[in-house]
C-alpha cells in the first residue's frame, strides 16, 4: 500500500462521527508530492457535516496548494466507498480529472478517474 492510501487510513482514525459511526479519511497529493489529509466531521445539525474529501481539499488550498495529482478515500466497507456528489463537485472544481483511489483497512483498493464517476460536471465554463 502506498503512502497516499496509508495517509487516508490514518486520517480516518481522526474522524468525528458520533451519529453515523461512519468514519472516512481522505488524502490528497498535490503537484509537488505533498499529502494533505482530512477526515469527516459530523455535526448534530446534519447539514453542517463535512466530508473527508472536502476537508482535505480545503486544507490543501488553505496551505497554498493549487494543483493536484490524486486522492485516496478510506472507509471500512467491503464495497469500496466513492465520494458523494457534493465532494465530486468540489473535487472537479479544485482538482479536475484527478485519479481517485478507494481503499479499506484490509488493503483492498480500486482506482478511478474523477471523470468516470462524474461524467458531466458543472463548472465555470457554464457561467
Catalytic residues: 53
Nine cell digits for residue 74: 478510506
Got the DSSP string for 91-126? HHHHH-S-EEEEE-TTS-EEEEEHHHHSSS---GGG
Within 29-113, where are the H helices?
52-62, 85-95
Alpha carbons 81 and 108: distance in angstroms, whole number: 11
Alpha carbons 8 and 54: distance in angstroms, whole number: 13
Amino acid at each position: 500500500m502506498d503512502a497516499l492510501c496509508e495517509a487516508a487510513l490514518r486520517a480516518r482514525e481522526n474522524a468525528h462521527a458520533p451519529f453515523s459511526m461512519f468514519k472516512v479519511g481522505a488524502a490528497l497529493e498535490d503537484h509537488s508530492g505533498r499529502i494533505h489529509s482530512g477526515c469527516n466531521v459530523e455535526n448534530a445539525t446534519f447539514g453542517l457535516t463535512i466530508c473527508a474529501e472536502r476537508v482535505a481539499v480545503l486544507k490543501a488550498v488553505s496551505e497554498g496548494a493549487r494543483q493536484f495529482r490524486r486522492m485516496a478515500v478510506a472507509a471500512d466497507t467491503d464495497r469500496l466507498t466513492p465520494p458523494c456528489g457534493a465532494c465530486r463537485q468540489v473535487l472537479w472544481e479544485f482538482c479536475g480529472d484527478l485519479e481517485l483511489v478507494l481503499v479499506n483497512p484490509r488493503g483492498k483498493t480500486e482506482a478511478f478517474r474523477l471523470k468516470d464517476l462524474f461524467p458531466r460536471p458543472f463548472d465555470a465554463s457554464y457561467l
